[in-house]
Amino acid sequence: MSRYNHRETEAKWRKAWAEADLFRARTPEEAGDSPKAYILEMFPYPSGRIHVGHSRNYTMGDVVARYKRARGFNVLHPMGWDAFGLPAENAAMERKVHPGAWTLNNIREMKGQLEKLGLSIDWSRELATCDPSYYRHQQAIFLAMWRKGLAFRKSAKVNWDPVDNTVLANEQVVDGRGWRTGAPVEIRELEQWFFRITAFAGDLLEGLDGLGRWPDKVRLMQANWIGKSRGAFVWWDIAEVPDFLKAGLENEGPHHARDPVEVFTTRPDTLFGASFLALAPDHPLTRRIAEFRPEVAEFVAECARAGTSEAEIEKAEKKGMDLGIRVRHPFDPAWTLPVWTANFVLSTYGSGAIFGSPAGDQRDLDFARKYGLPVVPVVLPPGVDADSHAIHDEAFTGPGTLYQSRFLDGLSTEDGIIAAIAELEKRRAGEGTVIWRLRDWGVSRQRYWGCPIPIIHCPKCGLVGVPETDLPVELPGDVDFSAPGNPLARHPTWKHVACPQCGSAAERETDTLDTFVDSSWYFARFCDATAPDRPFDPKLAAYWLPVDQYVGGVEHAVLHLLYARFFTRALIECGFLDLPGGEPFAGLFTQGMVNHVTYKSGEGKWLAPDEIEDREGQPVEIGSGRPVTRGALEKMSKSKRNVIDLDAFVQDFGADVARWFVLSDSPPERDLEWTDAGAEGAWRFSQRLWTLFAAAPPPGDPLMAAVQPQGPGLEILRACHRAAAAITGDLEGFRFNRCIAAVHECVNALKKLEPLFTPDHAPALREGLGILARLIAPFMPHLAEELWEKLGGTGFVVNAPWPEANPDFLREDMVVIPVQIDGRRRAELNAQKGLDPQILRAMALAEDKVQAFLAGAAPKDVIIVPDRIINIVTK
């Protein structure tokens, strides 16, 4: 018996699979009655080499794909590359390579690594988003969305890095400074392209209810992000304006003195507790007043400065300033309130203005206490009477009964809201409304390595779409990264073009699209990945979509998944796609990361694991022998130097072992700790399987059921059918770690029976091992093929049917029943299953140990749960 040689065997089977073209998805016609299963892992950014941490995601998807294939599904399991993005430009600047060359090189490298993992991928559908054959369709989609009003331009605030001359995404701003240059970021107003995702806010929220196979956590995060709030707009007429402001406010401008101040509230029932209005520092009226009052201008500027750092916002004290004007209460024109500006009011939410009702809102209360504004309680908590109710340091925000509120007195919070809105609408002082936290999606990026926006700016015609026949608008190849800013904008010729409508000199849009756009429809392109003349055939998309199982990191729980859900809706509206319900991903699984220990040298430098050795239990640096501190478990990343390279591991231990280990130790949705000991354990287990199959009988058909197995043969089949039942259930439930535990259990049971593997039991053994080989096939596909071949299985184990557990082998005849006395286990019975409770009672009371404990006393009660437990109660 030789040892298992993973290097030869894995290469052999990968070659055989490729030659048989096993993983090509069948067309709907070829598939006939077979149901379809679209299995997709979030496609990777081609950053370079992959490590074992990345492999977990693909392995999970592959396990599902292989399982579904064994179950007779027509499986689509494609792979592609999210190939546009900043790292390529950074590499271009640092290493003087073209972003395209750098990206293609990485793709080549990573594809080779993924292939060695033995993934069952249909590579004929491979795509890269930086390929003009992909992004030309994206440009066509953009133009269709523009014509429908779903893509539009507006002026928006952006983070501007004055050194790099570029716009930064929010996550590229660290403590108010550009992440690369360290220069203080400026807020600038720029014309930007947006997608009107807010047009679908309600539908995107309601759609979440139908996504039963998504994690609740993700649905909740999306719901919070969309942020629906019911409430009311309330319009407050300006009552008093100081003389020095009058002239200013009478002029034309952003906020005229005749314009009421609009406020959004979810609690119109507390309007009688209002004691002030507060406007955002950048509210138009605040800015107007700042023109005439230097102290207001100073306050606004101060807020703008503090606003950049998140840590400061968190701690920032509530501050405000009285603007000097007063407004009329909507329910009582004689009642006027002061108008303040306050740093805690957000201009981007609601109307950018609030009314302060301090008794019912903690922020308003803090503010009112600080500036001596009135606090009038208007909501009585349940069970509290009006005389004893008082507000001290804590606002009461819960539901209750309204009082001190004139016509609302006695109403519940809920009814009060309805009544207040009705009154507002009657007086034309406000209206009930719903507002959203979700904002339109800014897609402009002042970058080179992204999809060009197919728009031409003509001085005469305005915005003109590039004609379909001129698509794609390709990126120029000759670009200069030596200067900061957008290379497209300063390219000598690229942007200059004749207007397609009037022919006069015009300029191309030099912004490119956010890379989240590229990943918002790639799953649809995979359905028809080579269509030259349109994004995809709607019939093929209708066949394959929605994706049945999407697998990826929870870090994409909000943005990517929300954008993709928006995109399918936009594609439907533009006529590209037919997808009832509009949901792209019917099932979603978010897997945990792979963590690994980190090491730091005395100087605080990160050290790689192969630079460490163990000296009497203390990790030290190899060579110098200097002590090293063992850091926290961290997600594998190059910067922390705690990655395990996939190629090296596969070379040493094999792809099957890597796949097995990343699934074995933790539930898939949780993080996994990578340890050498665990990896070696997985390797030993693969060898153990190999030696177990060495005891197999001469080759025969493992699909043939053994007839009337006896003794050890029966035990073999029991172990294997039990494993089949457990693993099938756990695969359906995405519990891969439990599948692996079940395989361990089965192999342990078989190992114990190994001395009894005699020719008499050959049919049972062949059937049992045949089941086992098919059960491990999704996890260790190469080894499974080899074992299947040894057993005498015909064809590939990949194509073999999934083993069905025979219920006859799952039944147990005898059962051990514990006997408790007063809740503590004192004895046990070995009994036939399904015995009558009265017989069990007699058996239990007859037990010596029970007799001893009872010492002659009669039991007060005996609780009998058949086949489970007997509890004798004496007290």
Partner RNA sequence: GCUGUCGUAGCUCAGUGGUAGAGCGCAUCCUUGGUAAGGCUGAGGUCGCGAGUUCAAUCCUCGCCGACAGCACCA
- Percent helix, strand, coil in the chain, to 5, is 40, 20, 35
Q: Which of residues 389-418 bind RNA (CB under 7 A)?
A: none
Q: Which of 512, 561, 820, 844 binds RNA (CB under 7 A)?
A: 820
Q: Which of 87, 100, 476, 678 binds RNA (CB under 7 A)?
A: 678
Three-state DSSP class for 767?
helix
Cα torsion for 130, 543, 552, 568, to the nearest 10°? 70
Residue 687 found at the interface with RNA (CB under 7 A): yes
> To the nearest whole angstrom, how small is the minimum distance from the Cβ of residue 535 to RNA?
30
Q: Which of residues 46-65 bind RNA (CB under 7 A)?
A: none
Q: How many Cα atoms occupy the beta-carbon half-sphere of 694 within 13 Å? A: 12
Near RNA by CB under 7 A, which window of 264-272, 388-396, 500-508, 783-791? Answer: 264-272
Q: Which of residues 298-317 bind RNA (CB under 7 A)?
A: 313-314, 316
Residue 610 found at the interface with RNA (CB under 7 A): no
> To the nearest whole angstrom, how small is the minimum distance from the Cβ of residue 603 to RNA?
25
Q: Which of residues 201-260 bind RNA (CB under 7 A)?
A: 216-217, 220-221, 224-225, 227, 229, 231
Q: How many Cα atoms occupy the beta-carbon half-sphere of 748 within 13 Å? A: 7
Running DSSP on this structure, what letter comes out for residue 504?
Answer: S
Closer residue to RNA, CB minimum distance, 437 or 457: 437
Q: Which of 159, 343, 444, 512 binds RNA (CB under 7 A)?
A: 343
Residue 297 found at the interface with RNA (CB under 7 A): no
Residue 868 found at the interface with RNA (CB under 7 A): yes
> To the nearest whole angstrom, how small is the minimum distance from the Cβ of residue 347 to RNA?
7
Distance from C-alpha of 274 to C-alpha of 337, rounded to nearest angstrom: 8
Strand 462-465's sheet: what is its strand order? 462-465, 455-458, 505-508, 496-498
Distance from C-alpha of 541 to C-alpha of 447, rounded to nearest angstrom: 32
Cβ-based neighbours of 96, under 8 Å, separated by 6 or more: 481
Strand 353-356's sheet: what is its strand order? 238-240, 320-329, 332-342, 276-279, 353-356
> To the nearest whole angstrom, how small is the minimum distance from the Cβ of residue 667 to RNA?
3
Amino acid identity, position 31: A
Q: Which of 671, 714, 760, 792 binds RNA (CB under 7 A)?
A: 671
> To the nearest whole angstrom, how small is the minimum distance from the Cβ of residue 343 to RNA?
5
Q: Which of 437, 490, 560, 826 binds RNA (CB under 7 A)?
A: 437
Closer residue to RNA, CB minimum distance, 132 or 553: 553
Distance from C-alpha of 594 to C-alpha of 436, rounded to nearest angstrom: 36
Near RNA by CB under 7 A, which window of 123-131, 146-154, 248-256, 552-560? Answer: 552-560
Closer residue to RNA, CB minimum distance, 29 or 861: 861
Closer residue to RNA, CB minimum distance, 74 or 357: 357
Q: Which of residues 843-862 bind RNA (CB under 7 A)?
A: 861
Running DSSP on this structure, what letter comes out for residue 824?
Answer: E
Distance from C-alpha of 354 to C-alpha of 275, rounded to nearest angstrom: 11
> To the nearest whole angstrom, how small is the minimum distance from the Cβ of residue 706 to RNA?
23
Do β-strands 455-458 and 462-465 pair in parallel, antiparallel, or remain unpaired?
antiparallel
Residue 334 found at the interface with RNA (CB under 7 A): no
Residues 741-760: x where in contact with RNA by CB under 7 A, - otherwise, as a string: x--xx--x--xx-x------
Q: Are 561 and 168 in contact (CB under 8 A)?
A: no
Distance of CA 672 to the CA centre of its chain: 17
Residue 271 found at the interface with RNA (CB under 7 A): no
> To the nearest whole angstrom, how small is the minimum distance from the Cβ of residue 825 to RNA?
5
Residue 674 found at the interface with RNA (CB under 7 A): no
Residue 677 found at the interface with RNA (CB under 7 A): yes
Closer residue to RNA, CB minimum distance, 266 or 799: 266
Q: Which of 691, 758, 799, 832 binds RNA (CB under 7 A)?
A: 691
> To the nearest whole angstrom, how small is the minimum distance from the Cβ of residue 854 to RNA?
15
Amino acid identity, position 352: G
Residue 714 found at the interface with RNA (CB under 7 A): no
Residue 824 burial (10 A CB sphere; 0-12, 13-18, 19+):
exposed
Q: Which of 414, 480, 680, 701 binds RNA (CB under 7 A)?
A: 680
Residue 681 found at the interface with RNA (CB under 7 A): yes
> To the nearest whole angstrom, how small is the minimum distance from the Cβ of residue 10 to RNA?
13
Residue 38 burial (10 A CB sphere; 0-12, 13-18, 19+):
buried
Phi/psi at 191 (5° precision): -75, 125
Q: Which of 247, 502, 816, 846 binds RNA (CB under 7 A)?
A: 816
User: Binding-site residue total for RNA (CB under 7 A)?
Assistant: 82
Q: Which of residues 456-515 bind RNA (CB under 7 A)?
A: none
Task: Classify the C-alpha dihedral 778-779-783-788 as positive or negative.
Answer: negative
Longest dimension (CA), the chain: 111
Residues written for the chain = 875
Give kind and range of the element (H or E) at residue 140. helix 132-147
Residue 818 found at the interface with RNA (CB under 7 A): yes
Residue 729 found at the interface with RNA (CB under 7 A): no
Distance from C-alpha of 341 to C-alpha of 345, rounded to nearest angstrom: 8
> To the nearest whole angstrom, how small is the minimum distance from the Cβ of residue 122 to RNA?
32
Residue 667 found at the interface with RNA (CB under 7 A): yes
Distance from C-alpha of 516 to C-alpha of 698, rounded to nearest angstrom: 56
Residue 553 found at the interface with RNA (CB under 7 A): no
Q: How many Cα atoms occupy the beta-carbon half-sphere of 724 within 13 Å? A: 24
Q: Which of 90, 404, 675, 806 binds RNA (CB under 7 A)?
A: 675
Distance from C-alpha of 455 to C-alpha of 461, rounded to nearest angstrom: 12
Residue 638 found at the interface with RNA (CB under 7 A): no
Q: Which of 49, 153, 363, 826 binds RNA (CB under 7 A)?
A: 363
Q: Which of residues 129-168 bind RNA (CB under 7 A)?
A: none
Q: Which residue has the tokens 């693969």?
A: 686
Residue 652 found at the interface with RNA (CB under 7 A): yes
> To the nearest whole angstrom, how small is the minimum distance from the Cβ of residue 583 to RNA?
21
Q: Are 196 and 178 in contact (CB under 8 A)?
A: no
- Per-residue burial over 3-14, b if 16 or more Cβ lie within 10 Å, else e, is ebebeebbeebb
419: number of Cβ within 10 Å: 17
Give the residue from 817, 780, 814 showing the smallest Cα distance to 797. Answer: 780
Closer residue to RNA, CB minimum distance, 480 or 652: 652
Residue 181 found at the interface with RNA (CB under 7 A): no
Residue 601 found at the interface with RNA (CB under 7 A): no
Distance from C-alpha of 763 to C-alpha of 677, rounded to nearest angstrom: 37
> To the nearest whole angstrom, how small is the minimum distance from the Cβ of residue 230 to RNA?
9
> To the nearest whole angstrom, how small is the minimum distance from the Cβ of residue 3 to RNA?
4
Amino acid identity, position 543: Y
Closer residue to RNA, CB minimum distance, 461 or 869: 869
Q: Which of residues 92-121 bind RNA (CB under 7 A)?
A: none
Give kind and range of the element (H or E) at residue 649. helix 646-653
Q: Which tokens sit at 676?
A: 């050498």
Residue 361 found at the interface with RNA (CB under 7 A): yes
Residue 630 found at the interface with RNA (CB under 7 A): no
Near RNA by CB under 7 A, which window of 133-141, 515-523, 600-608, 865-873? Answer: 865-873
Closer residue to RNA, CB minimum distance, 157 or 744: 744
Residue 126 found at the interface with RNA (CB under 7 A): no
Closer residue to RNA, CB minimum distance, 416 or 452: 416
Q: Tell me the DSSP string of 836-872.
A: -HHHHHHHHHH-HHHHHHHTTPPPSEEEEETTTEEEE
Closer residue to RNA, CB minimum distance, 403 or 757: 757
714: number of Cβ within 10 Å: 15
